[in-house]
Structure 1
Amino acid sequence: MNLFSDIRALVIDCLTAMTAEGQLPEGLDFSNVAVEPPRDALHGDMATNAAMVLAKPAKSKPRDIADALAARLIADERVASADVAGPGFLNMRLAANVWPLIVKTALTDDTYGRSVMGEGIKVNVEYVSANPTGPMHVGHTRGAVFGDALASLLDYAGYDVTREYYINDAGAQVDVLARSAFERYREANGLEPVIAEGLYPGDYLIPVGEALKEKYGDSLIDQPESEWLADIREFATAAMMDMIRDDLALLGVKMDVFSSEKALYGTGQIENAIERLQAQGLIYEGVLEPPKGKVPEDWEPREQTLFKSTEYGDDVDRPVKKSDGAWTYFAPDVAYHYDKVDRGFDQLIDIFGADHGGYVKRMKAAVSALSNNKVPLDIKLIQLVKLFKNGEPFKMSKRAGTFVTLRDVVEQAGADVTRFHMLTRKNDAPLDFDFDKVLEQSKDNPVFYVQYASARVHSVLRKAAEQGIDVSDAALQAADLTKAASDAEIAVVKKLAEWPRLVEIAAKGHEPHRISFYLYELASELHGLWNKGNDDMSLRFIQEGDVATSQSKIALIKAVAVVISHGLGILGVKPATEMR
């Protein structure tokens, strides 16, 4: 049940009837007709912009359309009144018998809030994709949480989702990793490690060095780099990926696919992707203009193999092959995305760090060209996280050497708190993570506030059961829900009614933070009702000597707990049944 969708369908039916009877001209586009909560709750339960968006193409006054539409809407038993406001907005109040259906549906239908909007469309969500050179840091944490929640949200909305990690294991950074691991290997053999500038200094490579000693003994000590670099690179990369998988597991993140950049080389995949672009006349030999602004001292014009990305909205054409014949960093990324297109995905989503902003246009251009504009690519940039503790910036991790790790954050705050808080801001907004504030028990802490609402419901269920009230699923589903019909209680039901609509809005916009915002608002309604019960005994969930009314009120708050559980499930957070 999606009440907003159902009432919108009613509005469209009425508009269709008006067209058939000549009140509206043929051929009007109803796609922009919306039904949503009014800006002011005092104006009604729902509002539609139908008259406003149709007036110009219909060559009619908005108010005339609104008046005619209102007359038809009130003929439906679900609509108690339909009033025209201002130039033509239409506010509706729903009949009292609508609201119990929301509670009943939430209690009886496990799919309440789920959508078929996605229609099984295949979506690839690529996220994290951290270089395999060390532990995941706090920036990766936010990207991992955002990507995982977005994937869950899309799945909830009916998409066929694949979670994917792209291993950047072919660049110079993995050679640096190998050299750094070799120094720890020397250390394991009793020699002083030489952690030169540019190497990775973190202690996390000590176990790798010890594992290398166990495998090779001291046989590599006096060997030239050319003899050991490739083997140690492969060994250390595998060890780092094991560490990354462990870090992801701490957050409850599990990938469906791990794709390797290195695997693209020597297999013809890069060549195939570039040939695909070449066949479209999009590859040429040319010289790029110098960068705008201050030109680097070492810049010189060189002929390179270029992709005409400007034909697909980019600012400049992009090199795919250097003047020396080597592929640029961009070339394997083009091939990787071509592979995703070739695998049959209908939509692609990449989660990038904030420092990848300059990569957005070129990557979108490549996917548009490779898919003949059939596969959209949405790139979400994750802004930085600032860590605080005791009012001060949180210090770096000694183990990592240069940064705060994902493990540091999760071990101090917990996975559930970390995940929820990382979704309390939109992805492109900076986020402060204060270890004291995310753990405090107050309304200002959204993690606590939502979990407290869930725990409060469960405490009522336990107390009612102790008093002999049947609060089983069957009993609450069969309760007379009309006994919880005060204005305060209906306000809670109205917020429950928004859940399916909110899911679709969040999924369309690729905005999982909307789920956490909604859960906070729903929790606020629950807490507000609880507090009103302190002054008005008729609002208390357990009514002494009145089992039927108690069950009705408890059914309402149980529905709140159910929706909170669904929402937290999307965020990857376990709902609380008690607070400790």
Structure 2
Amino acid sequence: MNLFDDIKSLVLDTLAAMTAQGALPTGLDLGNVNVEPPRDPAHGDMATNAAMVLAKPAGLKPRDIAQGLVERLSDDPRIALAEVAGPGFINLRLADAVWQGLVGQVVDAGTSYGRSRMGQGRKVNIEYVSANPTGPMHVGHTRGAVFGDALANLLAYAGHDVTREYYINDGGAQVDVLARSVYLRYLEAHGQEVAFEDGTYPGDYLIEVGQALKAKVGDAYVGQPEDVWLTEVRAFSTDAMMALIREDLAALGVKMDSFFSEKALYGTGRIEAALEDLAEKGLIYQGVLEPPKGKTPDDWEPREQTLFRSTAHGDDVDRPVKKSDGGWTYFAPDIAYHFDKVSRGFDMLVDVFGADHGGYVKRMKAAVSALSDGRVPLEVKLIQLVKLTQGGEPVKMSKRAGTFVTLRDVVDQVGADVTRFVMLTRKNDAPLDFDFDKVLEQSKDNPVFYVQYAHARVCSVLRKAAAAGIAVDDTSLAATDLAALDHPAELAVARKLAEWPRLVEIAAQTGEPHRIAFYLYDLASEFHTLWNRGNDTPTLRFLPDDPAGGAAKIVLPRAVAVVISAGLGILGVKPLDEMR
């Protein structure tokens, strides 16, 4: 149910009638005809560009087309006023009955209101978080986890078949460093003095892992050379860290559908198979790259390497996949991993990377394009940094992590709901300020409080209405005559409710779940404004003096709660029934 789509269908049907009547030539492409909110609400409820986009192909003046369209649209009972503006835009005002009917439809549809079939069941793989399994997740991972999870929820809500995936970076040298760090904690558990050197991880979070290793193997590794214990300790440590990461994700309300190990690509022929696929397409060759920008001939040593011809798929330069010593570059397993995703039949891939991976985007897109023969698009979303403050000062590092503020530090202090909502109050590629004091304020300036307060107010209204003997079940409310909802402030709330299905599709198309948070704040603002007007205007109160006539007024806040609950669900935030 999308009112904007309904009016667009009306416009398209009217254009078809004009064509049948000879007022427009046949064969016009109507694909660019839109119906959307006007930039200035004072101009109307909706606007269409139909006359503007059809004038040139029709060989007619825009205003002539617009005038004919306006005359015919005015005959529809849903249109209270249609008028031509400027060079040929058409502004529309809808009848009050349309907005009143929509409010009842929202309540009747419940959780299905706003859901879209836009995705048509397309299979989408969203890879996010994918932190190195070397320690607890930091606040940067938190933002990526929240964004990726909300995007997954949003695309699923818009009709996609979504798989949430975590790529375990357990194939690189950092996992060996982790194993050596755990071994030091293992020796410490045996009473030895140890020193963390050579880039090892000194965080206290490894103390329990070292103790657990001691409980498992006793003193079997004490005094032994690295080649005796490294493989086993690496596997043990990685499992322990992934268990910690899963706990952190659960605390944030994030649950993955799939975990994919980078290590599983090595020694299994999967990297070779992916590169063979590219080689068969003529995209792998032996060559020498040009010096990197900023290098001089004196410090550049040209080396023949195995290269991927990524420039054939939009990259700036070709990329090495094998080093001159025969080892794989870090890019090679990433190609193999995405080859696996393409082979699993996904129609679209989304990678959520930290902002420091910006230079990696073009090569990864080139790889997926080549591997899928251009069939599978890859969308890369970069997550900018989070600045944590409290009392006007930067938040210091976590004692447990040793070097950074962890996800659990944030969640334990303000809660998962506040963390998630605030992380989505800025576009993903814009820096975000997270003030621990402000996010807990109970004021209009705190968006998560403002939205949850609106939902709690609705729940309070429903409880009081039920106590007054008014039937507040959705079936009864949806069947209520809503003609009494005729005040401009009430209709303004209805208009905002009408935007929800359209907003969902726009946010899904652009991959921008922050739009949901912005919309919920605006909806809450319209609702609170109406609530406050009721303090001075008794007819605007949701619970008037006469309970028998109060049901119509209750339907509107109930519709607001339906949409707020749905929107918070996409963000992964629980709607509150009451504020404490």
Indicate the residue corresponding to 1:243 in structure 2: 244
Indicate the residue corresponding to 2:340 in structure 1: 339
* CA deviation after TM superposition for structure 1 residue 552, in Å: 0.7
**Dislocated runs of 4+, deviation >3 Å:** 294-299
Give, in whole Å, the separation in 2 of the partners of 1:514 and 1:358: 26
2:6 matches 1:6: yes
Indicate the residue corresponding to 1:553 in structure 2: 553
What do the CA deviations read for 1:426-466 (whole angstroms, capped 9, x no partner)? 00000000000000011111011001101111111122223
Q: Is the 8 A contact 2:188 2:194 kept in 1?
A: yes
Indicate the residue corresponding to 1:44 in structure 2: 44
Give, in whole Å, the separation in 1 of the partners of 2:28 and 2:283: 40
What do the CA deviations read for 1:257-285 (whole angstroms, capped 9, x no partner)? 10011001111111111011111111110
2:179 matches 1:178: yes
* CA deviation after TM superposition for structure 1 residue 473, in Å: 2.5
Indicate the residue corresponding to 1:20 in structure 2: 20
Indicate the residue corresponding to 1:365 in structure 2: 366
- Counterparts of residues 262-411 of structure 1 (less than 5 Å): 262-295=263-296, 299-411=300-412
Give, in whole Å, the separation in 1 of the partners of 2:82 and 2:500: 23
Q: Mark the CA change 1:561 to 1:236 in structure 2 (over 3 Å): closer, same or farther.
A: same
Indicate the residue corresponding to 2:428 in structure 1: 427
Indicate the residue corresponding to 1:66 in structure 2: 66
* CA deviation after TM superposition for structure 1 residue 296, in Å: 9.9
Task: In structure 2, list runs of 5 or more residues that go unmatched.
Answer: none
- Higher mean alpha-carbon deviation, 31-40 vs 121-130, is at 31-40
Give, in whole Å, the separation in 2 of the partners of 1:514 and 1:452: 19
2:576 matches 1:579: no
- Counterparts of residues 484-523 of structure 1 (less than 5 Å): 484-523=485-524
Give, in whole Å, the separation in 1 of the partners of 2:168 and 2:350: 16
* Matched AA of 1:268: G
Give, in whole Å, the separation in 1 of the partners of 2:297 and 2:530: 64
What do the CA deviations read for 1:319-356 (whole angstroms, capped 9, x no partner)? 00110111110001001001111000000000000000
Give, in whole Å, the separation in 1 of the partners of 2:50 and 2:20: 17
What do the CA deviations read for 1:456-485 (whole angstroms, capped 9, x no partner)? 111111222233333232332222211121
Give, in whole Å, the separation in 2 of the partners of 1:38 and 1:246: 46
When the two structures are superposed, what TM-score results if normalisation uses the length of structure 2? 0.98
- Counterparts of residues 75-86 of structure 1 (less than 5 Å): 75-86=75-86
Give, in whole Å, the separation in 1 of the partners of 2:276 and 2:71: 62
2:151 matches 1:150: yes
Percent identity between the two aligned chains: 72
Indicate the residue corresponding to 1:140 in structure 2: 141
2:105 matches 1:105: yes
Give, in whole Å, the separation in 2 of the partners of 1:361 and 1:113: 34
* Matched AA of 1:137: H
Indicate the residue corresponding to 1:569 in structure 2: 569
What do the CA deviations read for 1:127-168 (whole angstroms, capped 9, x no partner)? 000000000000000000000000000000000110001000
What do the CA deviations read for 1:281-332 (whole angstroms, capped 9, x no partner)? 1111011111112459864211110001111111110000110111110001
Partner of 1:348: helix, strand, or coil?
strand
* Matched AA of 2:52: M
When the two structures are superposed, what TM-score results if normalisation uses the length of structure 1? 0.98
* CA deviation after TM superposition for structure 1 residue 500, in Å: 0.4
- Higher mean alpha-carbon deviation, 224-233 vs 67-76, is at 67-76
- Higher mean alpha-carbon deviation, 561-570 vs 11-20, is at 11-20
Q: Mark the CA change 1:244 to 1:297 in structure 2 (over 3 Å): closer, same or farther.
A: farther
Give, in whole Å, the separation in 1 of the partners of 2:297 and 2:75: 72
- Higher mean alpha-carbon deviation, 474-483 vs 419-428, is at 474-483
* Matched AA of 1:42: A
* CA deviation after TM superposition for structure 1 residue 19, in Å: 2.6
Partner of 1:481: helix, strand, or coil?
coil
Give, in whole Å, the separation in 2 of the partners of 1:93 and 1:345: 43
* CA deviation after TM superposition for structure 1 residue 5, in Å: 0.8
Matched length: 579
Partner of 1:324: helix, strand, or coil?
coil
What do the CA deviations read for 1:189-229 (whole angstroms, capped 9, x no partner)? 11112211401110000011001101111111111111111
- Higher mean alpha-carbon deviation, 497-506 vs 25-34, is at 25-34
Indicate the residue corresponding to 1:463 in structure 2: 464
Q: Is the 8 A contact 2:119 2:159 kept in 1?
A: yes
Give, in whole Å, the separation in 1 of the partners of 2:297 and 2:395: 36
Indicate the residue corresponding to 1:55 in structure 2: 55
Give, in whole Å, the separation in 1 of the partners of 2:105 and 2:77: 19
RMSD: 1.2
* Matched AA of 2:30: F
Give, in whole Å, the separation in 2 of the partners of 1:177 and 1:86: 66
Indicate the residue corresponding to 2:121 in structure 1: 120
Indicate the residue corresponding to 2:455 in structure 1: 454
